[in-house]
Amino acid sequence: MDEITAIKRLILNKLVRARMWGGKHTPLDFVIKGLPAQFRMTHSGEKSVQKAIKELENDQWIILMQKRTGKGYDTHISLNPRKLAEIQNFLA
């Protein structure tokens, strides 16, 4: 399994465990901070994380949205409930 697939699995597992489906969302920064240090602290790891997030968004498995917070706007993430079967098959 390559690095990007591993990152995708980590992100999806974290969101599924937290039940972040549809209208329920969490800041993207919180999800990235939960990844292992090898992905967050290295330049190649950061690029892999960004690529994995982009692929998940292109496959429409995750929904990224700008939400107003107390200090401006943050990117929030949630799972697409219409892709439930595909996500479960990927994680199985």
Structure tokens at 84: 């439930």
Please state the φ and ψ torsions of residue 86, each to the nearest 5 degrees: -65, -40
Distance of CA 5 to the CA centre of its chain: 12
Structure tokens at 54: 């982009």
Average pLDDT score over residue span 35-45: 90
Q: Which pLDDT tens digit goes with each residue over 42-76?
A: 999 899 999 999 999 999 999 999 998 888 899 99
Q: Which CATH class is domain 3-91?
A: mainly alpha
Residue 91 is which amino acid? Answer: L
CB–CB of 55/8 below 8 Å? yes
Q: Check residue 71 and give its pLDDT.
A: 83
Q: Find tokens 């597992």 and name the residue.
A: 13
Answer yes or no: is pLDDT of 33 > 80.
Answer: yes
Helices of type H across the chain: 3-17, 28-33, 37-40, 43-58, 84-91
Q: Check residue 30 and give its pLDDT.
A: 93
Q: Check residue 1 and give its pLDDT.
A: 66
Q: Check residue 68 and give its pLDDT.
A: 86
Average pLDDT score over residue span 75-83: 95
